[in-house]
């Protein structure tokens, strides 16, 4: 029988002949399910395919294999060869795949109506209207009035940056700018690159400042830590909170939040005073030591004890342990944690982390701070992938915050300049800026002030809810992704290959959306290629084979780094480690707070009696606010009461608060109610909340108004000279509401 | 009007149909015929003396089964296409708090298989459940292209077209089996409309009538 299209019109017209249906299959659903189950028991079901892929639940993108049966997701398995997953996937990796089938997924591009509701529109209409408006804005207010904020996944990085740069704007910002903006800038000015990698596996002593592998990102990192603990490595957790990594620790130091800098300065003091530092490294491979060392005299352990709440003897012992470990003693690099973006001294804390490692002389030593080069993509054919003309204007925000790198930028400047009427348009690609980067009220004001806001996402985040246009992307398993280069001792390239057919035909892969926007905006000439062509070209540029990458999921690039112990050439202006930053020395007229040598800067705010500093952190089952729409992950939250605010036990007793009581957390910006978790495992000057909850998008039902949001309490502010949002400079009061 | 035609008209109305389809479905005589078919127990008692042939909004009716006649009256007030498509563009798409996408999977457990190893296999409210798989299988087994291929195979519009073919061509028990197994979620869907679009009286009425009509089909075939 010929397949035939059944249309209502043809039925009305009676044009379809009444053809006897020959039932060749099982009409009954129940009978069909039974026969399917029997087939599965008997043998491997037909149509199972396996695709190399990467997770999308956080920025790590751990390698995995996606098993598909009859076109449907069957299981996910970590790729054992991938350095981030090493055969494992975290709960987010398993749970977030649900987004493919989620009822909350956007299924069509949409435009905002006057009353704030949304209506579906066609892609053609979306492109035309956005393109026309964008061209008008650029013509009238210049390309500097347009920005894009993206989640730094490869497609986001490449297409977002290309799009905004092709418009003539330098205003490309990533989520990283709030995650670790202070840290990255602080490291760059001392040793020339924005991060290092602590060799935890080989360290004798490793100190974590706030960072918790067990609450964070990569399964491989947690495993390394567990192995190190097993080997007898001294693991010191310096954190106001006894986090989930502390089970591996030899020591927990419950520091007053915002005072890690004081601890590090005191450690530096002891290392220098006791001559436990690497003189050879300092003499031959650094500048500014002679300028800085005398300043360290004031930063005694006793001085630090007053500020940090840590006994002076503990500080001194820690310093001596590090000094004795020498090259195999290391302060771990962190990411967001305690000084990625939290305090007005975060940048300075990062500098001091780098400085302590330099005093230990541990750069590129076994057990120390690794500066492993990361391979760069090879050159691509410029006729096919034309270069974007150079942009001469500076990224908005860098004039006010000159210590920030142009690569990172200061993302909250978009909202600030929008409120001033200077930023006219913003694009958001998988970025929930309003909920995660700065105070939501200020972000909302900024967005409402702009002439054009566009969000590309799979779900209706709080940011999307405020945009003029919401463009529905397909899920990550339904599209091809650009390959990612992985740094580390062995550079690698991983790939994500399309595993599922697009389920909602009116959704598109991100690359196609950008191509459509580019063409409508008059810059289509820079996007005359498909993503298949780009992936092939990028893989080929690394002299790798795409079929092999599709099969294995990850391939090595070159030989493993083997320069342990060799002298380091730093990527600083002096080519040496800079205890006194030449960049800062060259711009002292612009500095509000910082000077070339590292000095004590207190946190901006300090809680008084009856007050707490509000600090936030991660849980391993969620990524920021992105995963609170996932029922499977929220079920874990609800089962284990993970949304509760942590309150130090002694303070809770004073306030009459018991476990499970409802409390009201308040400051001048916001007030919210949540249940309390009373614990001994928290520094008494602070309260802690997980930063994932308190969703305000009624579109995302699972997380809607569950728990309290963090950013609503945070003043819209910028770290002096650097720019990140100082998310822990927050003072709150807590009172019991009900039992 | 034949049942299969009536089912085809229903199918048009649960999707963002184009204007031509809308006009086809709601043209005056067709619509009257449709209402007579899908509300078979409605009996017109009397007409006002000055009622013109074109104005039957003032009919007095009763339902001989003592059922609510409100739905019937509401369905007589056909919205304009512009009003309909505005509504559909806000409600017949996913990802919004007002979404009332008529897809069976959203009311079913995702997978009945014990072997599925995804974390969400036993959740409800996800697209592309086993029921979608079954519909895909059925369309293939009966060698029919999915009627509205931009919609999931278990979208109500596709289910109703498939049912219309069964009504025309298949056995009586097959018709009942299909209604019992693939359309028993409609009361839950009606609840969702009431939760998320309670002012959509026309759609609520349409769905109430559809549910009752399916019962009529079963009773007629049995």
Question: pLDDT digits over A279-322, tens only?
Answer: 999 999 999 999 999 999 999 999 999 999 999 999 999 999 99
| Sole residue written with tokens 């596996």 | A201
Locate A636 and state its tokens.
């874990």
| Half-sphere exposure of residue A571: CA atoms within 13 angstroms, side-chain side | 10
Name the packing angle between helices B172-182 and B201-221 (round to 10°): 150
The Cα–Cα gap between A630 and B118 comes to 13
Question: pLDDT digits over A114-124, tens only?
Answer: 999 999 999 99
The Cα–Cα gap between B51 and A590 comes to 85
The beta-carbon neighbor of B123 closest among A1, A23, A632 is A632
Inter-chain CB proximity A8 and B182 less than 8 Å: no
Nearest to residue A260, comparing CAs of A209, A298, A299?
A: A209
Q: What is the CATH number of the domain that holds A276?
A: 3.40.228.10
Phi and psi torsions of A30, nearest 5°: -65, -45
Interface test with B, best of A95, A101, A114 (most B CBs within 10 A): A101
Inter-chain CB proximity B8 and A12 less than 8 Å: yes
The Cα–Cα gap between A340 and A350 comes to 8
Number of Cβ within 10 Å of residue B221's Cβ equals 17
Is residue A315 domain-resident? yes
In this structure, what is the dihedral angle of CA atoms A293, A297, A303, A309, given to the nearest 10 degrees? Answer: 30
Residue numbers of the domain that contains B57: 3-221
Per-residue pLDDT, A477: 97
Please tell me if residue B153 touches chain A, with a CB cutoff of 8 Å: no
Phi and psi torsions of A502, nearest 5°: -65, 125
Locate A242 and state its tokens.
């006894």
Locate A520 and state its tokens.
């409508």
Is residue A259 domain-resident? yes
Q: Is the pLDDT of residue A11 over 50?
A: no
Burial class (CB in 10 A: 0-12, 13-18, 19+), B211: middle
Residue numbers of the domain that contains A141: 130-175+411-473+511-527
Q: What is the CATH number of the domain that holds B130?
A: 1.10.3480.10
Per-residue pLDDT, A153: 78
Burial class (CB in 10 A: 0-12, 13-18, 19+), A358: buried
Is residue A539 domain-resident? no
Please tell me whether residues A316 and A446 are part of one structural domain: no
| Sole residue written with tokens 């700065």 | A438
Nearest CA in chain A to B101: A103
Strand A612-617 to A492-494 pairing? unpaired
Is residue A649 domain-resident? yes
Residue A578, H or E segment: strand A577-578
Cα–chain center distance at A409: 15
The 8 Å CB, 24+ separation contacts for B144-153 are: B144/A3, B144/A4, B144/A6, B145/A3, B145/A4, B145/A5, B145/A6, B147/A5, B147/A6, B147/A7, B147/B11, B148/B11, B148/B15, B150/A505, B150/A506, B151/B15, B151/B103, B152/A503, B152/B103, B152/B105, B152/B127, B152/B128
Nearest to residue A410, comparing CAs of A180, A605, A642, A659?
A: A180
Locate B14 and state its tokens.
């649960």
Is residue A344 domain-resident? yes
Q: Is the pLDDT of residue A46 over 70?
A: no
Per-residue pLDDT, A528: 97
Phi and psi torsions of A689, nearest 5°: -125, 150
Cα–chain center distance at B58: 26
Inter-residue contact A455 to A467 (CB < 8 Å) = yes
Locate A717 and state its tokens.
């502010």
In chain A, which among 624-663 make CB contacts under 8 A with chain B? 631-632
Inter-chain CB proximity B21 and A9 less than 8 Å: yes
Locate A169 and state its tokens.
């704007």
Read off the pLDDT of each residue in A185-192 and give the average, rounded to a whole number.
Answer: 97
The Cα–Cα gap between A389 and A382 comes to 12
Going through A80-124 in order, the beta strands assigned E by DSSP cover 110-112, 118-120
Question: pLDDT digits over A702-727, tens only?
Answer: 888 899 999 999 999 999 999 999 99
Lowest-pLDDT choice from A107-111, A315-319, A405-409, A557-561: A405-409
pLDDT digits (tens), chain B, 222 positions: 788 899 999 999 999 999 999 998 999 899 999 998 898 776 665 554 544 434 445 556 655 554 467 788 888 889 999 999 999 999 999 998 889 999 999 999 999 877 788 989 999 999 999 999 999 999 988 888 999 989 999 999 999 999 999 998 888 889 999 999 999 999 999 999 999 887 889 999 999 999 999 998 888 755
Overall domain count for chain A? 3
Q: Over the Cα atoms of chain A, what is R_g?
A: 27
Per-residue pLDDT, A44: 54
Q: What is the DSSP letter of A700?
A: S
Read off the pLDDT of each residue in A675-700 and give the average, rounded to a whole number.
Answer: 92
Q: How far apart are the first and last CA of chain B?
A: 20
Please tell me whether residues A208 and A152 are part of one structural domain: no
Residues 6+ apart with CB under 8 A from B132: B103, B104, B105, B152, B153, B154
Please tell me if residue B169 touches chain A, with a CB cutoff of 8 Å: yes
What is the average pLDDT value for chain A, to the nearest integer? 92
Question: pLDDT digits over A598-620, tens only?
Answer: 999 999 999 999 999 999 998 98
In chain B, which among 92-151 make CB contacts under 8 A with chain A? 92-99, 101, 106, 110, 112-120, 123, 125-128, 130-131, 133-134, 137-138, 140-145, 147, 150
Please tell me whether residues A301 and A449 are part of one structural domain: no
Question: pLDDT digits over A137-172, tens only?
Answer: 999 999 999 999 998 778 888 999 999 999 999 999
Q: Please indicate, yes or no, whether the overall pTM of this predicted structure exceeds 0.90.
A: yes
Overall domain count for chain B? 1
Q: What is the DSSP letter of A105?
A: B
Inter-residue contact A526 to A162 (CB < 8 Å) = yes
Phi and psi torsions of A21, nearest 5°: -80, 125
Going through A298-424 in order, the beta strands assigned E by DSSP cover 329-331, 369-370
State what percent of residues in chain A have pLDDT above 70.
96
In chain B, which among 33-52 make CB contacts under 8 A with chain A? none
Residues 6+ apart with CB under 8 A from B93: A106, A107, A108, A110, A120, B16, B99, B101
CA distance A613 to chain B (A): 36
Per-residue pLDDT, A175: 80
Is residue A479 domain-resident? no
Please tell me whether residues A137 and A200 are part of one structural domain: no
Phi and psi torsions of A140, nearest 5°: -85, -45
Per-residue pLDDT, A7: 52
Phi and psi torsions of B173, nearest 5°: -70, -30
Per-residue pLDDT, A408: 80
Per-residue pLDDT, A9: 45
The beta-carbon neighbor of B96 closest among A5, A91, A699 is A699
CA distance A648 to chain B (A): 35
Beta-carbon contacts below 8 Å between A and B: 172
Q: What is the CATH number of the domain that holds A163?
A: 3.40.50.740
Nearest CA in chain B to A28: B177
What is the DSSP secondary-structure string of A583-629?
HHHTTGGG-SS--SB------S----TT-EEEEEE--TT--TTTTTT
């Amino acid at each position: 029988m010929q397949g035939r299209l059944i249309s209502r019109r043809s039925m009305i017209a009676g044009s379809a002949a009444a053809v006897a249906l020959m039932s060749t299959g099982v009409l009954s659903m129940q009978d069909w399910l039974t026969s399917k189950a029997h087939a599965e028991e008997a043998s491997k079901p037909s149509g199972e395919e396996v695709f190399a892929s990467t997770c999308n639940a956080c920025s790590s993108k751990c390698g995995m294999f996606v098993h598909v049966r009859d076109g449907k997701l069957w299981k996910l398995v970590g790729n054992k060869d991938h350095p981030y997953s090493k055969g494992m996937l975290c709960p987010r990796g398993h749970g977030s795949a649900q987004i493919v089938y989620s009822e909350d997924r956007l299924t069509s591009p949409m435009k905002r109506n006057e009353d704030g509701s949304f209506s579906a529109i066609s892609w053609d209409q979306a492109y035309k209207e956005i393109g026309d408006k964008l061209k008008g804005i650029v013509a009238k207010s210049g390309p500097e009035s347009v920005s894009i904020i993206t989640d730094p996944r490869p497609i986001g990085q490449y297409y977002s940056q290309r799009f905004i740069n092709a418009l003539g704007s330098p205003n490309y910002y990533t989520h990283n700018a709030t995650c670790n903006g202070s840290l990255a800038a602080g490291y760059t000015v001392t040793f020339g690159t924005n991060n290092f990698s602590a060799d935890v596996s080989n360290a004798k002593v490793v100190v974590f400042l706030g960072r918790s592998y067990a609450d964070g990102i990569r399964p491989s990192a947690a495993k390394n830590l567990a192995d190190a603990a097993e080997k007898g490595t001294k693991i010191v957790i310096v954190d106001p909170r006894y986090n989930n990594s502390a089970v591996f620790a030899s020591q927990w130091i419950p520091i007053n939040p915002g005072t890690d800098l004081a601890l590090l300065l005191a450690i530096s003091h002891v290392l220098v005073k006791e001559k436990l530092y690497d003189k050879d490294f300092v003499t031959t491979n650094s500048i500014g030591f002679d300028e800085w060392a005398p300043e360290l005299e004031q930063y005694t352990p006793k001085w630090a004890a007053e500020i940090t709440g840590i006994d002076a003897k503990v500080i001194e012992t820690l310093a001596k342990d590090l000094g004795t470990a020498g090259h195999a003693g290391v302060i771990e690099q962190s990411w967001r944690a305690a000084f990625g973006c939290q305090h007005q001294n975060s940048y300075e804390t990062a500098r001091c982390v780098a400085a302590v490692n330099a005093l230990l002389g541990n750069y590129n030593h076994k057990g120390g701070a690794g500066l492993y080069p990361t391979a760069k993509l090879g050159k691509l054919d410029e006729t096919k992938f034309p270069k974007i003309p150079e942009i001469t204007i500076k990224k908005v925000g860098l004039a006010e915050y000159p210590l920030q790198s142009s690569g990172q930028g200061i993302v909250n400047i978009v909202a600030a300049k929008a409120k001033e009427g200077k930023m006219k348009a913003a694009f958001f690609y998988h970025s929930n800026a309003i909920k995660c980067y700065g105070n939501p009220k200020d972000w909302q004001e900024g967005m409402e002030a702009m002439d054009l806001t566009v969000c590309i996402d799979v779900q209706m985040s709080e940011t999307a809810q405020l945009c003029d246009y919401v463009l529905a992307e397909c899920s990550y398993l339904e599209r091809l992704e650009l390959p990612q280069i992985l740094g580390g001792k062995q550079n690698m390239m991983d790939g994500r290959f399309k595993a599922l057919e697009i389920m909602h035909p009116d959704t598109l892969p991100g690359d196609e959306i950008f191509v459509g926007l580019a063409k409508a905006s008059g810059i289509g000439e820079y996007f005359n290629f498909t993503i298949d062509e780009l992936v092939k070209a990028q893989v080929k540029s690394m002299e790798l084979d795409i079929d092999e990458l599709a099969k294995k999921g990850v391939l090595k690039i070159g030989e493993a780094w083997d320069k342990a112990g060799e002298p380091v050439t730093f990527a600083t202006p002096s080519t040496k480690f800079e205890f006194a930053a030449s960049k800062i020395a060259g711009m002292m007229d612009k500095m509000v707070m910082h000077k070339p040598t590292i000095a004590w800067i207190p946190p901006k705010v300090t809680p008084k009696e009856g007050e707490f500093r509000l600090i936030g952190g991660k849980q391993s089952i969620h990524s920021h606010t992105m995963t609170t729409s996932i029922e499977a992950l929220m079920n874990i939250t609800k089962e284990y009461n993970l949304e509760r605010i942590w309150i130090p036990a002694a303070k809770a007793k004073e306030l009459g608060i018991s476990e499970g009581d409802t409390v009201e957390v308040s400051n001048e910006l916001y007030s919210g109610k949540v249940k309390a978790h009373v614990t001994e495992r928290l520094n008494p000057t602070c309260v802690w909340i997980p930063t994932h909850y308190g969703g305000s998008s009624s579109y995302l039902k699972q997380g809607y108004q569950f728990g309290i949001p963090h950013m609503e309490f945070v003043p819209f502010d910028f770290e002096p000279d650097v720019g990140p949002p100082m998310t822990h400079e927050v003072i709150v009061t807590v009172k019991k509401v009900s039992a | 009007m034949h049942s299969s035609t009536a089912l085809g008209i229903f199918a048009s109305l649960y999707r963002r149909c184009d204007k031509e389809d809308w006009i086809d479905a709601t043209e005056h005589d067709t619509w009257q015929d449709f209402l007579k078919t899908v509300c078979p127990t409605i009996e017109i008692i009397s007409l006002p003396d000055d009622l013109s042939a074109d104005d039957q909004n003032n009919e007095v009716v009763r339902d001989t089964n003592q059922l609510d006649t409100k739905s019937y009256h509401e369905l007589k007030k056909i919205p304009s296409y512009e009003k309909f498509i505005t509504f559909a563009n806000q409600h017949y798409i996913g990802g919004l708090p007002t979404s009332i996408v008529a897809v069976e999977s959203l009311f079913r457990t995702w997978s009945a298989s014990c072997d599925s190893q995804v974390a969400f296999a036993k959740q409800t409210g996800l697209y592309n459940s086993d029921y979608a798989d079954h519909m895909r299988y059925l369309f293939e087994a009966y060698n029919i292209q999915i009627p509205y291929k931009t919609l999931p195979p278990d979208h109500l519009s596709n289910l109703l077209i498939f049912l219309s073919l069964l009504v025309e061509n298949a056995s009586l028990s097959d018709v009942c089996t299909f209604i019992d197994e693939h359309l028993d979620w409609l009361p839950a869907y009606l609840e969702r409309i009431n939760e998320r679009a309670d002012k959509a009286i026309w759609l609520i009425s349409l769905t109430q009538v559809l549910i009752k009509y399916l019962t009529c089909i079963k009773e007629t075939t049995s």
